[in-house]
Structure 1
Amino acid sequence: MYKQTPSTTQQPLRVGLMGYGKAGQAVANVLMEDPRCNLQWVARKHVPELARLEGKNIPFTPSDQDWGAWLDQHPVDAIVDFSHPDAVYQYGAAMAERGIMLVSANSAHQSEHLEFMAKLGQQTQVLCSPNITLGINFLILAAKLLRNIAPFADVAILEQHFKHKEEISGTARRIAETLSVEQDQITSLRLGGIVGHHEVIFGFPYQTVRLIHNSIKREAFGTGAVFALHELETCPPGLYNFDELLERRMRQSLLQSASPGDTPPLA
């Protein structure tokens, strides 16, 4: 069901996309441009008969349908979900039964969604992340490392988004949880059309450290999703978060750059 070492002649991944809002449209652009992926279809709520992606021979399909039949007729290797958190209940079982990978990027997942996806992970590779951008997950990894080095430092989190975003950023909540910081230490600003700004501030007695990530365009979600898909390919079935995939890649990179005999082989 999975490969430990991807082939250099590997065919592009066939991908189905759930959701076609602003983020979904940006992700579709990346999936169509990246030669490592082949976008097969897009699922959304309201679909006119025989509708296709503009200028492309890529069909739209209703998100509420018989997913078993659809996946048999339009097979994919992976599903990328930028739709509503409850959508996974519609397609999840049919997806897992066919060994299809899942990258789910939604900031509003609740514990029941995670429990359901953990069950899906018994059959296939599943990644769930409230923010799928590579940069923000590297920020989280760096912040966690600094927190371990200097647990005495004061920590505050700042997040900024477009003015119509009502809830606290799921990414900011995840950063707070990772760093064992109370949510009242998160400052939220809603201004204009900001795509996404996250900042972690470490206050030391004689210095400060600021780790900052800005999402400039929503296509960043697409590049993160593609990274996640190709990392998942080499993993056994299970439920993963982006941290785990990134740490795994960094560990492999460090071992490859080490001199022979410096470090034991990767387990």
Structure 2
Amino acid sequence: MTRIILCGCCGKMGHFITQLVSERTDCEIVAGVDLNVNAQTASYPAYTSIDQVAEAADVIIDFSHPSLLTPILHYAAEKGGIPAVLCTTGYTAEQTAELTKASETQPIFYSRNMSLGINLMLELAKKAAKVLGDQFDIEIVEKHHNQKIDAPSGTALMLADALASVRDGETQYMYDRHAQRKKREKSEIGIHSVRGGTIVGEHEVIFAGNNEVITLSHSAQSKELFAVGAVNAAVFMSGKGPGLYDMSALV
């Protein structure tokens, strides 16, 4: 039985994960962490700070806020290297470097999208980029609800980074094409953001060549799929040694 500390337990994703775990027999939530603990109605204790958690646990799931990264990493280290599944988006480059450094001595699972389908799409996109080479231009379009703060999405950047890793030469990310008065460069990957309504999350990778276009797309119908990915990752990470893990371990 995998014992979980859930950070962000009172948020939307926290409620999804709480419900999901209650229906499983291979894991349980032993404590929650959230600034708004008054909204917590689950059967486990909840605290306003992770430092207050005294319950023994096997793994931490974080769906809270980027500002809590450092306290979570410190707590995990102090408890003997509890694995941390980091699902929060919007980390700065410095924070990404921090969690990468921590993975040298702690087991860290980090993915900017917890959907198995998105991570399969990522692998397919990398394969396509290798086969198509520089004869095809690459554009990424992401769509999300009107409450999402960061743009482009972490998933769009994850896709772009994966594509850049298999391309020859230097790659430039183009976010603001309307400000450029020049032809498209072969080295570019265009990244475009749409915000509106209640769109959960849609991503397209467009490979545009001469007289043909290939499109890979993924549409999330509910945030529940991210909860499933996070809990599966938590069960997978229980007992793991130091290192930086991601969804490719589950694909």
Say which SS state the counterpart of residue 37 (structure 2) adopts. coil
Question: How many residues in Structure 1 have an aligned counterpart in Structure 2?
Answer: 226
1:202 and 1:142 map into 2 onto residues whose CA distance is 12
1:18 is aligned to 2:18: no
Would the alpha carbon gap of residues 37 and 183 (structure 1) be closer, same or farther in structure 2, given more than 3 Å must change?
farther
1:220 and 2:210 aligned? no
- The letter of the residue matching 1:161 is H
Instruction: Report the CA distance between 1:116 and its aligned residue.
Output: 2.4
1:99 Cα deviation after fit: 2.3
AA aligned opposite 1:171: T
In structure 1, the residue matched to 2:33 is 43
1:158 is matched with 141
- 2:59 and 2:84 in contact (8 A); partners too: yes
* Cα deviations by residue, 1:166-192 (Å, 9 ceiling, x for unpaired): 431111122122212624312211121
- Name the stretch that deviates more: 173-182 or 101-110: 173-182
Report the secondary structure of 1:108's partner residue: coil
- TM-score, L = length of structure 2: 0.81
Contact 1:28 1:39 in 2 (8 A): yes
Which AA in structure 2 matches 1:40?
Answer: V
Residue 234 of structure 1 and its aligned partner are, at CA, apart by: 6.9
- Spell out, residue by residue over 1:176-235, the C-alpha distance to the aligned partner (whole angstroms, 9 max, x if none): 222126243122111210111111111233432221111111111111112322333475
Deviation, 1:127, is 1.1
Q: Name the counterpart of 2:202.
A: 197
Unaligned runs of 5+ in 2: 165-171, 176-189
Structure 1, unmatched stretches of 5+, are 1-11, 250-267
Divergent runs of 4+, >6 A: none
CA contact (8 A) 1:86 1:113 kept: no
Give the TM-score, by structure 1 length: 0.77
Measure the CA separation in 2 of the matches of 1:137 and 1:183.
Answer: 23
Deviation, 1:35, is: 2.1
Q: Aligned runs of 1:79-94 on 2, under 5 Å? A: 79-94=60-75
Q: Post-superposition shift, 1:139?
A: 0.9
Q: Aligned equivalents of 1:223 and 1:183: distance in 2?
A: 33
Question: SS at 2:203's partner residue?
Answer: strand
In structure 2, what is the Cα distance between the partners aligned to 1:30 and 1:16? 14
Equivalent-residue separation in structure 1 for 2:226 and 2:247 (angstroms) = 12
SS at match of 2:229: helix
In 2, the alpha carbon distance for the partners of 1:22 and 1:104 equals 16
How has the CA–CA distance of structure 1 residues 188 and 119 changed in structure 2, closer, same or farther, with 3 Å as cutoff?
closer
- Counterpart Cα distance in 2 of 1:41 and 1:183: 43
Letter in 2 for 1:202: F
* Pair 1:62-2:48 in alignment: yes
TM-align CA RMSD: 2.1
